[in-house]
Chains A and B, each alone.
Chain A
Amino acid sequence: MQKMVLARVWPISRLETVTQVKKLLSQFSNPTKLNEVAILPTIASYRDPMLGECAHPWLAEAVADHFRLAAHVADMSLLGYEHKTMNMRLAFKTTGYENMANEKGMRIVTDEKDMRAADMGVLLLKPNSSVHIPNEVELGFLKRNSTNIVIADFLISPSKFPKLSGAVVATDDIVLMKGLLAHVYQDKRSFVVNDYLSTLQGPTDWIRRHYVQKRPPNITSGPFRRLLGLYARVCGDVVPPVLQGW
């Protein structure tokens, strides 16, 4: 049976995050001996992970600590799929994953041919993704690894400024997690309609208070860019290349 568990990290700090995530992980039935654990964080920018564009490296640190102690894992790897818009080596460096991996003795793998099936796969989700449907990379990762845990750090709510709620959720079912994310972010494109909050253990009102709010307009988003393009064509004005997608 699928399981979803919730904790609140408060005050938000490295120590408290690691402690709470380790507690969450201990609620899943983990094997006592694992050879390899692969961790795939979703990273969408080079920026500070506190902005909510990347899963926070503190989660990966907690995962590493938990499985080293609970399952005597010999080999820990941190995976990043290189693609044309992201230099994952650089992203691991700027978001703090590289330092964490060195500290915890983890292998960083960004070349797809070096990726292999691990005994346990842990997917770390970025918290405010706009589309809450498992993407190709995530599904590929989940298929590759037979046993999986998905963690969303939930540290950030989608407002004009990052608002730290401190929620951390772990599950062994990505669809359940994506459904919850869709629900709390009121994603109209969600394919999940059930009230997943009711599946959570513990009080959940505070999640709603933190998360249910309107997203601020972003001038670089599609409709704004199209309007800007229309204005530029009518007036003959310049649209800076950075806003044109160059």
Chain B
Amino acid sequence: MIRIGIIGLGRLGKLHYLNLLRIPHVKLVAVCDLYDQNLVFASHGGVRCYKDYKRMLDEAYLDGLVLSTPHSFRYEPISLCAAKGIDVFVDKPLATSTSEANSILTVVRENQTQLMVGANFRYFPSVRRLKSMVQAGNFGRIIASAGELVLDGLFVNPVYDPAADLDWRMDPLRSGGGALMNLGYHLIDLYLSLFGPLEFVSGRIESIFNLPVEDYAMIVLRSKDGVEISMNVGLFAKSVTPKFTFRISILGTALVESTDAFAPRNLTVHAAKQIITNLGRRAAFRPINYLAYTYYYSSYYEVMRDFVMTLVNGDNVPIPAETQLPTIALIEKIYGALIDAKNGSS
């Protein structure tokens, strides 16, 4: 059994907690969070609760750690884990700047531990299908691509998401940014894996809701092969599960296709089908597809399962932290250029 602990029991931390309880070969031994109301979530089932992560790392004898903290709090726990030989799974983004990301990578390399980033969008079946088509050359010469990701983000139903939880996400120093850092990160990560190195051409960031971080970003990128990419990301639209607004369209000389073609057309019908399928599987004593009814959240289960299985098998993690450096560098460059332009124009 792999002994795993979690630091950070916010919205994603709680989901990781529930997923880890269902992944084979895992013994979830300890969780750490600053807030009592979050620790209550994990206060049953023999999991030890801590408020001091250093104490948890000293006492829990972990093989792996899941780090689900505010974006700016990454280096300290990862370096401490590396020193103790603990492999780490960290939610994206790896860091809010390239200098911090480089420091993290250095300490991980020195201690020869593994660090995986939870870039879960790579696990969407529609993305995998589109990627396989790109790799097979089905599009001919790819001319352009458009990406869209618009969610509720900071405005999750307040009844379910206490306002205190929102604070760090609205603080540019702790979150590293708004829509571009939160959602643009996913699209840039996917585009880098589809088209290789990208350069920033132009863009615009805006705060529609008068927040300290941007809630809308429109970015134009270009790949080294000349593919023009336009991205629209936003945290402004009302989006209640199972609704999920994400698509990547690719325009090639042989084919024009979008992830929409490979995603469920009606997510409510999809949810109902998956629930019925899982009930049938349970009745037949077969394993169920966890979170399949949500479409979006199932990727979190899969990415966590892959992390655990690499620890069990002693393999290399599927999304090593090194792969995230170009994403962070590009986002840093975009912010730099757009903020300079804004200051210049004002």
Contact = CB atoms under 8 A, between A and B. Distances in A.
A48 B216 CA distance: 14
B211 A85 contact: no
Contacts of A46: 154-155, 158, 209
B293 A237 contact: yes
A98 interface: yes
B160 A246 contact: yes
A220 interface: yes
B291 A237 contact: yes
A97 to B, nearest CB: 10
Nearest to B293: A237
A235 B271 CA distance: 14
Given A219-B268, A238-B291, A51 B14 contact: no
Contacts of B301: 238
Contact of A99 (B41, B159, B162, B210): B210
Interface string B299-329: 0010000000000000000000000000000
Contacts of B18: 238-241
Interface stretch (B72-80, B234-242, B334-342): B234-242
Interface residues of B, number: 43
Interface string A191-208: 000000000000000000
B312 to A, nearest CB: 21
A44 B238 CA distance: 13
A219 B282 CA distance: 23
A85 B155 CA distance: 12
B15 interface: yes
A90 B209 CA distance: 10
A69 interface: no
Contact of B15 (A84, A98, A241): A241
A85 B158 contact: yes
B19 interface: yes
Given A87-B163, A238-B290, A231 B210 contact: no
Given A234-B282, A236-B282, A219 B241 contact: yes
Chain A residues touching B, majority SS: loop
Contact of A90 (B152, B156, B157, B166): B166
B242 A219 contact: yes
Contact of B162 (A84, A95, A231): A84
Interface string B186-223: 00000000000000000000001111000000000000
A175 B159 CA distance: 27
A117 interface: no
B242 A86 contact: no
Contacts of B156: 242
Contact of B158 (A86, A93, A234, A239): A86
B210 A220 contact: no
B175 interface: no
Given A46-B154, A47-B238, A238-B301, A246 B41 contact: yes
Given A94-B210, A99-B210, A237-B288, A243 B241 contact: yes
A96 interface: yes
B259 interface: no
A45 B163 CA distance: 11
A238 B17 CA distance: 10
Contacts of B168: none
B290 A231 contact: no
B161 interface: yes
Given A85-B158, A98-B210, A237-B288, A51 B15 contact: no
A245 B291 contact: no
Given A90-B166, A243-B241, A235 B278 contact: yes
29 contacts: A44-B158, A45-B157, A46-B155, A46-B158, A47-B155, A48-B208, A48-B209, A48-B236, A48-B238, A85-B158, A85-B159, A86-B163, A90-B163, A90-B166, A93-B210, A94-B211, A98-B210, A219-B241, A220-B157, A220-B160, A235-B288, A236-B22, A238-B19, A240-B291, A245-B159, A245-B160, A246-B11, A246-B14, A246-B41
- Top-5 shortest CB links A-B: A87-B163, A241-B14, A94-B209, A46-B155, A238-B18
Interface of A: 44-48, 51, 84-87, 90, 93-96, 98-99, 217-220, 231, 234-243, 245-246
Given A46-B154, A235-B281, 17 more contacts: A45-B155, A45-B158, A85-B158, A86-B158, A86-B163, A87-B166, A90-B163, A94-B210, A217-B268, A237-B290, A238-B297, A240-B18, A240-B241, A240-B297, A242-B11, A243-B241, A245-B160
